[in-house]
Amino acid sequence: MSTTIRLYAEDQLTGDKQIELSSDQAHYINNVMRLNVGDEVLLFNALDGEWAATIQESKKKRCVLQVGSKTRDTEKMPDLWLCFAPIKKQRLDFIIEKATELGVSCLQPVITRHTIVSKIRTDRLHAQAIEASEQCERLNIPDVKEAVSLTQLIKDWPENRRLFVLDERGGAEPIDQALRTHKDGPHAFLTGPEGGFEASELDLLRKLPFVTPISLGPRILRADTAALAAISCWQSVCGDWQKPLRNRFGEE
Amino acid sequence: MSTTIRLYAEDQLTGDKQIELSSDQAHYINNVMRLNVGDEVLLFNALDGEWAATIQESKKKRCVLQVGSKTRDTEKMPDLWLCFAPIKKQRLDFIIEKATELGVSCLQPVITRHTIVSKIRTDRLHAQAIEASEQCERLNIPDVKEAVSLTQLIKDWPENRRLFVLDERGGAEPIDQALRTHKDGPHAFLTGPEGGFEASELDLLRKLPFVTPISLGPRILRADTAALAAISCWQSVCGDWQKPLRNRFGEE
């Protein structure tokens, strides 16, 4: 992993500009990481790409940076939504972190009948998505939506986006086959809560023209494992895993 | 997930046999889950399959079960090894749990130059693998090996087993392509520590006839994410994800 600290910058980034960090970010830089005037960090956002910036001022809750030169251009990210029934905190945090690392563009919490988590702190999930993006070298932050009911999700669903539903019952297409059949996007996955979907929810989903039920093999997977496994398979077949890693050793 | 408690049984399982649980298992049944005489659990191992068993005696650190009828036959599991440089505890635990859920047959810790974890408690990893197997309805437990150096791993490597090495530098084949090229097994994955492999280690590995370097796309993934993503892709292409889930609703 890169050792230079990367921070998400809401402001526009251009050469020679002065950027003042938020007080949370300033605290992190000054007090947690203990950087000093003259040290370098990387600032990024989806529109401007990634830029090197040098610390000009570093005092208490204030940190001002001077933007230098651009280190990376904006990149087109794969278009994949993950719709997920919220689960217990530790596993939920894991979904946010891993889904961000694996390049998901939108995270949509969905309340289903068996969902036991009643209150979803969207702002907290958003903060985690930012942190995960900073650490995995993404240039954009996945869009974290407010939670909706399954009924509302279906009602508002954009019909051109294929929704792969992880269906634990028999008869669903193996994921590899489903991805190849429906290779052209845009796509989304829907994973259920710890207790799984209720049979009536799956019956309803199966009837929708934009839904493809999929199977992840003969073993039952936890919700968080299933989400991550599905996204990985998608990236491998439909996403940008055919592209080489940005080379870090100066080789072609 | 199944709600009946599943326990790994080292003893042979046959109908009408009396099984005494280990004191740890007895504590779990009696004191943590608070089951009583007459309650049912499921016992399993790779040789005998899975059997229903009823609690006959439940006192303090002693729990005796009467085996009833067989609920599942032994199943052939996919043959996939995960060789991994140990990382910090929480992420390591995650690898063990998820790799077990995803059907890996063998877990081999490997010490590389950048590995910072010096002491690996193989017994602890084994206990976690058992717990993960109990919870994800596996019938066998992945084999957890003692840690070896990378040099030793290479020296003892069975040449007929293809080793896919997650190579963070440019030039490695995308995973989907590599899996299809080398679809016939047996297979293994090797993932590096937090700091990645040293360039000389990757150079050495690339020269070996049984090694195929692979890429998981243009974003850098944490070691634990990469391991999980690779196993998922493997199961989807080479493993048993073409097989339907054992049906739980009595349907075909």
Q: What is the CATH number of the domain that holds A32?
A: 2.40.240.20
Structural domain for B218, as ranges: 80-237
Interatomic CA distance for residues A71 and A50, integer angstroms: 5
- DSSP character string of chain B: ---S-EEE--S---TT-EEEPPHHHHHIIIIIS---TT-EEEEEETTTEEEEEEEEEEETTEEEEEEEEEEE---PPP-EEEEE----HHHHHHHHHHHHHTT-SEEEEEE-TT-------HHHHHHHHHHHHHHHT-SS--EEPPPEEHHHHHHT--TTSEEEEE--STTPEEHHHHHHHT-SS-EEEEE--TT---HHHHHHHHHSTTEEEEE--SS---HHHHHHHHHHHHHHHTSSTTSPPPPSSS--
Could you report the per-residue pLDDT of A188-239, keeping only the tens digit for each? 999 998 888 999 999 999 999 999 999 998 888 999 999 999 999 999 999 9
Q: Is residue A213 one of the residues assigned to a domain? A: yes
Do the chains contact at A170 and B251, CB–CB below 8 Å? yes
Count CB atoms within 10 A of the CB of residue A18: 12
Instruction: Give the nearest partner residue to A241 out of B199, B216, B222, using CB atoms.
Output: B216
Could you report the per-residue pLDDT of A68-85, keeping only the tens digit for each? 999 999 888 889 999 999
B53/B110 same-domain check: no
Which strand (E) or helix (H) includes residue A128? helix A122-136
B42/B114 same-domain check: no
Do the chains contact at A218 and B245, CB–CB below 8 Å? yes
The answer to whether B69 touches B230, Cβ cutoff 8 Å, is no
**Closest-CA distance of chain A to residue B60, Å:** 31
Instruction: Determine the pLDDT at residue A239.
Output: 92
Instruction: Determine the pLDDT at residue A244.
Output: 65
Q: Is residue B242 one of the residues assigned to a domain? A: no
The answer to whether A101 touches B222, Cβ cutoff 8 Å, is yes
Interatomic CA distance for residues A222 and A194, integer angstroms: 7
**Closest-CA distance of chain B to residue A59, Å:** 31
Q: Is residue B170 one of the residues assigned to a domain? A: yes
Instruction: Determine the pLDDT at residue A250.
Output: 35
| Residue ranges, chain B, pLDDT below 50 | 1, 247-252
Instruction: Determine the pLDDT at residue B227.
Output: 95
Instruction: Determine the pLDDT at residue B244.
Output: 65
pLDDT at A137 over 90: no
Instruction: Give the nearest partner residue to B103 out of A138, A219, A233, using CB atoms.
Output: A219
A-B C-beta contacts closer than 8 Å: 180
B124/B200 same-domain check: yes
B195/B85 same-domain check: yes
Q: Decide: helix, strand or coil at residue A235.
A: helix
- Nearest partner of B188 among B94, B95, B84, judged by Cα: B84
Which strand (E) or helix (H) includes residue A189? strand A187-191
B120/B175 same-domain check: yes
Q: Which of residues 44-63 of A touch B (CB under 8 A)?
A: none
Q: Which of residues 106-135 of B touch A (CB under 8 A)?
A: none
Distance, CA of A109 to chain centre: 12
Count CB atoms within 10 A of the CB of residue B209: 7
Could you report the per-residue pLDDT of B89-103, keeping only the tens digit for each? 888 899 999 999 999
pTM for this prediction? 0.89
Q: Is residue A250 one of the residues assigned to a domain? A: no
**Closest-CA distance of chain A to residue B236, Å:** 6
Percentage of chain A modeled with pLDDT above 90 = 73
Identity of residue A95: I
A164/A204 same-domain check: yes
Confidence band of A1 (pLDDT split at 50, 70, 90):
very low
Final residue of a structural domain among A38, A72, A106: A72
A32/A141 same-domain check: no
Return the CATH number at B159. Answer: 3.40.1280.10
Q: Is B112 left (phi over 0), alpha (psi -120 to 50) or beta?
A: beta
Final residue of a structural domain among B24, B45, B72: B72
First to last CA, chain B: 20
B45/B153 same-domain check: no
Do the chains contact at A219 and B171, CB–CB below 8 Å? no
For residues A219, A225, A229, A235, the Cα torsion angle rounded to the nearest 10 degrees is: 170
Instruction: Determine the pLDDT at residue B89.
Output: 84
Instruction: Determine the pLDDT at residue A252.
Output: 34
A100/A175 same-domain check: yes
Instruction: Determine the pLDDT at residue A246.
Output: 57
Q: Is residue B243 one of the residues assigned to a domain? A: no
Final residue of a structural domain among A72, A106, A127: A72
Q: Is residue A156 one of the residues assigned to a domain? A: yes
Could you report the per-residue pLDDT of A122-133, keeping only the tens digit for each? 999 999 999 999
Interatomic CA distance for residues B28 and B209, integer angstroms: 48
**B217 part of contact set with chain A, CB < 8 Å:** yes
Q: Is residue A52 one of the residues assigned to a domain? A: yes
- The residue that leads in pLDDT, A244 or B212, is B212
Domain count for chain A: 2
- The residue that leads in pLDDT, B249 or A120, is A120
Q: Is residue B245 one of the residues assigned to a domain? A: no
**A169 part of contact set with chain B, CB < 8 Å:** yes
B167/B89 same-domain check: yes
- Cα dihedral across residues B4, B9, B11, B13: positive or negative: positive
Region A3-12: mean pLDDT is 92
Instruction: Give the nearest partner residue to A174 out of B242, B248, B249, using CB atoms.
Output: B242
Which strand (E) or helix (H) includes residue A190? strand A187-191
Average pLDDT, chain A: 90
Average pLDDT, chain B: 90
Kindly list the residues from chain B whose CB atom is less than 8 angstroms away from the CB atom of residue A94: 94
The answer to whether B83 touches B226, Cβ cutoff 8 Å, is no
B112/B175 same-domain check: yes
A52/A86 same-domain check: no
**Which burial class, exposed, middle or buried, applies to B160 when counting CB atoms under 10 A from its CB (0-12, 13-18, 19+)?**
exposed
